[in-house]
Amino acid sequence: MADPLPEPVAPAAPSRRARVLTIVKIVVGVAAVALLVAGVASQWDEVTAALARLDAPTTAVAVVATLVALVANMFSWRAVMQALGLHTTRRAAASIFFVGQLGKYLPGGVWSIAAQAELGRAHGLARGPSAVAALTSMVIGIVGAAVVGVLGLVLSSPDGLRQYWWLAVLALVGLVSLAPPVLGRLVGLAWRLLRRPTVEVRPTWAGIGRSLAWSVGMWVAYGVQATVVLQAFGATSGLLWVTATAAYATAWLVGFLVLVAPAGLGAREGVLVVLLAGVTTTGGALGLAVLSRALMTLGDVLLAGLGLALEARRRRRAAPRG
């Protein structure tokens, strides 16, 4: 007589902690989207007025340059992941990174890190190492912005460099901290201070170098976006691209450091106006500030949608077929 089949085991009910985390994720996601929409709505009149001054080719180049910059940022993050021993496919990286980027629209600079670490779990990435990689990627973005800002201001705006002299200090300290022996020790120290289980990190020179190169490429693309927009507004400086790239990188960095503003709203625009005063009118600088904000938001929305579509496709393929 054959042994009876075992009784099916009912799946365990989710714990209270799991239910709370699910609710928190939903609330945070809704809040991020709401703040994103509110940020666009608050500047809608200015955005439409600025768009009215652009022709179709200029708008197309600006949109493409923005998307290229955002994709370069994703590859910078993925290079850090690989440097720390966390390997993902391009599709998985796009899904994790672009959806997680919506967290930057919440006040504070760490929400995108938490989101990316959580999203990585679905792709077999441990939360702790993922958070370390995301934080390292953010540091590389800061260092890249400081380096590009310093070099651009040296070439195009000595007055601007005198005002933002701290960029040179930040760039130097940042480059030293990214050296793999130093970076590994800093990460270990951070985990001890947080009283978390130590995550062994052995970054590689090649991986950190690739990530920094992608980060610089991101600012180059943003410089192209700013240049074509400023040209449409009448700017004709021979060093326009250098000035625009430096201003954009510096403005992003200042906006990032102002933690109370979602995605640096307000602070970033103010820096752009100051640093671009020598190449365009106040109206042109304000137009770029508003328009670049809209283009970045549009790019984040489009790429987050792509990330969600890739994740949905992965889940369909992974679902059991009956």
pLDDT bin (cut points 50, 70, 90) of residue 226 is very high
Q: Check if the beta carbon of residue 183 is closer than 8 Å to that of residue 132.
A: no
Res. 221 pLDDT band, cuts 50 70 90 = very high
Tens digit of pLDDT for each residue in 135-170?
Answer: 888 889 999 999 999 999 888 877 777 888 889 999
Question: Which has the minimum average pLDDT: 78-87, 102-111, 124-133?
Answer: 102-111
CA Rg value for the chain: 22
CA-to-CA distance for 198 and 36, rounded, in angstroms?
A: 35
More confident residue, 313 or 227: 227
Residue 33, exposed/middle/buried by CB under 10 A (0-12, 13-18, 19+)?
middle
pLDDT digits (tens, 9 = 90+) for 43-77: 566 656 666 778 889 999 999 999 999 999 999 99
Burial class (CB within 10 angstroms; exposed 0-12, middle 13-18, buried 19+) of 283 = middle
Distances (CA, A) of 33 to 4, 46, 73, 101, 304: 53, 21, 21, 11, 11
pLDDT at residue 18, rounded to an integer:
47
Q: How large is the average pLDDT for residues 313-320?
A: 79
C-alpha dihedral (103, 109, 111, 112), degrees to nearest 10: 60
- Calculate mean pLDDT across residues 178-206: 77
* Range of lowest pLDDT (4-18, 134-148, 254-268, 271-285): 4-18
